[in-house]
Amino acid sequence: MKAKDFMITDVIAANEQDTVKRVLEIFVNRRISGMPILDKNRHIVGVVSDGDILRGIQPKDASVFNYLLTVSYKAEKLDKIVEELKDHPVLNLAKKRGIVTVHEEDELEEVVNILAKHRFKKIPVLNDEKQVVGVISRGDVLRTVHSTLLNAL
């Protein structure tokens, strides 16, 4: 069985210009935890997850070091961080290098190996033109294994 046989083709994706606020709205309204970021030709330029957003808004302690004195400031307030970050491009928080994908012609076994090796929740599926044509989640794989393999036993 090939990736194209069990991938989800209705891909929810962000575009390069989407802001952190827009992506958060999509996460909440669509009840998802991650998505690819695509350019105008549907080529993948990044992947953003709920964890990337959380790391971006995580309050940070600021420290100023002087030769004789170290001054620590109180952690920034979360509302201030969110206010400053909301209009920034989500691509600033996203993973942009080393993005792992599968091809629509890859076999189920290869998809299972990649998901297990990298511990991904989902993985983008590309066609020959390197365009995102689908996404496969761990749940999609488990449903496929259940319906095709377990039922055959």
Output the tens digit of pLDDT for each of the chain's 153 residues: 999 999 999 999 999 999 999 999 999 999 999 999 999 999 999 999 999 988 887 755 544 454 444 444 444 576 776 677 778 899 999 999 999 999 999 999 999 999 989 888 899 999 999 999 999 999 999 888 888 766 666
CA dist list (Å): 145 to 54, 103, 108, 139: 33, 19, 9, 10
Whole-number Å distance between alpha carbons of 3 and 137: 11
Phi, psi of 65 (to 5 degrees): -105, 130
Whole-number Å distance between alpha carbons of 49 and 29: 15
Sheet bearing 34-38, strands edge to edge:
14-15, 34-38, 44-49
